[in-house]
């Protein structure tokens, strides 16, 4: 697991769910699992999905304004509906109502905007006639009801091994198309690995093909076996203990990945900014997920929050981009990131007594300032008790920083400490 340097430096990405499922107002392809819609009714969505307002240049401009460094598009979700002109199926945007390839202009627009381009691809395909009904994780939310199955699908892999191989050839073939039709791709984001094993997916062969065709691409870990990809992807939470190696928390701006008009539980900007600080303080990346409407529009409830985050990053991005973990755990009550000889304290809220305290440092402090304005902050450094100083001479504790309340940022006040 050794991703490209740009991935660790980027720290902040966006994932956009876009597909015929936006017509339902439900969560991506999952209504098929819930039994909320039949296979035939779901397939017919492709004959109505015509995103006339889709303009990826507008999406790219928004992403730049919001401070994202890489953006991932769902080229095919679990429903099997492809947004590009795949030669392996007619269940695709160009061959149904949309009448055009939606991936090519996305890649071009985001590449022209200077952003890294990522493509999401689902290993399962609930539309394909050779994809079996049985999965290795048969929880109720993982198993499709009979009404959601294509006619004549195999009961299991064992029941029709030749048909499973046919599916694997098809799935690998579509990934090959993604690797060869759009120029350089920076990241591949696989999903749905829980339905089968890495051996059944033939994941190592799949990754080898991607490495051959796109040698500089970063690959996530959702391939059925830890260690096959480049980085881990905890979902909808910040892991208390960071995963070994590179990792990326993926989290929605409200509670849904796809466009769901009934989901109004949009997270406050302060929560989103605090989440970004917490993730980077643990050495990870944050990818925020939003869903585009069936017309191809990013709703203002999501866009407005992301724009405010972009404004905060304009003032404080130095503490996020190319930064990593700061102080050791327990040394400050707030998240901290670090870069070179600088520590960045992310003060979330108003500190007690209008003072921020660092419990221990191992180097002298040269300067303390607000990152956003450069204003100098008054600070004092007390030597430890003489006995502790004798045992550990470099030990300096505590550091107290005065933070006037009128200088507080409404989301995250970043203090830069330069160490000597």
5-319: which CATH topology? TIM Barrel (3.20.20)
Cβ(369)–Cβ(343) under 8 Å?
no
Q: What pLDDT does 386 receive?
A: 52
Strands of 342-347's sheet in order across: 324-325, 336-339, 342-347, 413-419, 365-370
Helical segments of 317-374, H only:
none
Best CATH choice for the domain 326-419 from the list 2.60.40.1180, 1.10.10.2120, 3.30.1360.120, 3.40.50.1820 = 2.60.40.1180
**The residue to which tokens 């046919």 are assigned:** 166
DSSP string of 108-165, one letter each residue: HHHHHTT-EEEEEEES--TT-TTS-S--S---TTTS--GGGSPTT--S-TTT-HHHHH
Q: What pLDDT does 42 receive?
A: 97
Tokens standing for 374? 């450069």
CATH 3.20.20.80: which residues of the chain? Answer: 5-319
Q: What pLDDT does 139 receive?
A: 72
Average pLDDT, consecutive stretches of 10 residues, N- to C-terminus, the chain (420 residues): 90 98 94 92 98 98 98 98 98 98 98 98 98 86 89 97 98 98 98 97 98 98 94 96 95 97 97 98 98 98 98 98 94 95 97 92 91 96 55 62 97 96
Output 323-330 pairs: Cβ under 8 A, ≥24 positions apart.
323/11, 323/280, 324/8, 324/280, 324/283, 325/281, 325/282, 325/283, 326/281, 327/358, 330/359
CATH 2.60.40.1180: which residues of the chain? Answer: 326-419
Tokens standing for 328? 């050791």
> Does the predicted TM-score (pTM) go above 0.85?
yes
Cβ(295)–Cβ(351) under 8 Å?
no
Q: What pLDDT does 137 receive?
A: 80
DSSP string of 287-312, one letter each residue: EEEEEB-TTS-B-HHHHHHHHHHHHH
Rounded CA-CA distance 293/259 in Å is 6
Q: What pLDDT does 1 receive?
A: 64
């Amino acid at each position: 697991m050794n991703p490209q340097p740009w991935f660790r430096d980027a720290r902040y990405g966006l994932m956009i769910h876009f597909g015929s499922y936006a017509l339902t107002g439900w969560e991506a392809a999952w209504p098929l699992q819930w039994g909320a819609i039949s296979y035939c009714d779901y397939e017919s969505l492709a004959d109505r999905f015509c995103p006339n307002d889709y303009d990826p240049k507008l999406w790219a401009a928004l992403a730049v304004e919001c401070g994202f460094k890489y953006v991932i598009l769902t080229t095919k979700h679990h429903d099997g509906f492809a947004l590009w002109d795949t030669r392996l199926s007619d269940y695709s945007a160009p061959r149904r109502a949309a009448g055009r390839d939606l991936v090519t202009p996305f890649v071009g627009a985001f590449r022209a905007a200077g952003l890294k381009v990522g493509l999401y691809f689902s290993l399962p395909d609930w539309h394909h006639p050779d994809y079996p009904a049985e999965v290795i994780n048969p929880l109720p939310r993982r198993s499709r009801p009979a009404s959601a199955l294509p006619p004549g699908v195999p009961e299991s892999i064992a029941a029709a091994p030749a048909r499973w191989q046919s599916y694997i050839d098809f799935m690998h073939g579509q990934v090959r198309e993604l690797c060869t039709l759009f120029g350089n791709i920076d990241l591949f984001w696989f999903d749905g690995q829980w339905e089968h094993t890495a051996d059944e997916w033939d994941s190592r062969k799949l990754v080898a093909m991607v490495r051959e065709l796109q040698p500089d691409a970063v690959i996530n870990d959702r391939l059925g076996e830890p260690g096959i990809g480049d980085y881990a992807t905890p979902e909808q939470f910040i892991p208390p203990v960071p995963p070994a190696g590179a990792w990326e928390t993926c989290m929605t701006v409200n509670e849904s990945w796809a466009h769901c008009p009934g989901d109004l539980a949009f997270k406050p900007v302060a929560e989103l900014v605090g989440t970004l600080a917490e993730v980077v303080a643990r050495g990870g990346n944050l990818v925020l997920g939003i869903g585009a409407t069936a017309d191809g529009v990013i709703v203002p409830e999501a866009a407005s929050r992301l724009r405010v985050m972009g404004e905060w990053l304009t003032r404080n991005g130095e503490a996020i981009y190319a930064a990593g973990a700061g102080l050791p755990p327990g040394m400050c009550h707030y998240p901290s990131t670090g870069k070179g000889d600088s520590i960045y304290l992310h003060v979330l809220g108003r500190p007690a007594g209008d003072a921020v305290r660092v419990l221990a440092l191992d180097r002298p402090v040269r300067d303390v300032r607000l990152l956003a304005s450069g204003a100098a902050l008054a600070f004092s450094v007390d030597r430890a008790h003489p006995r502790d100083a004798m045992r550990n001479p470099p030990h300096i504790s505590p550091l107290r920083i005065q933070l006037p309340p009128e200088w507080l940022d409404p989301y995250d006040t970043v203090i830069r400490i330069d160490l000597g």
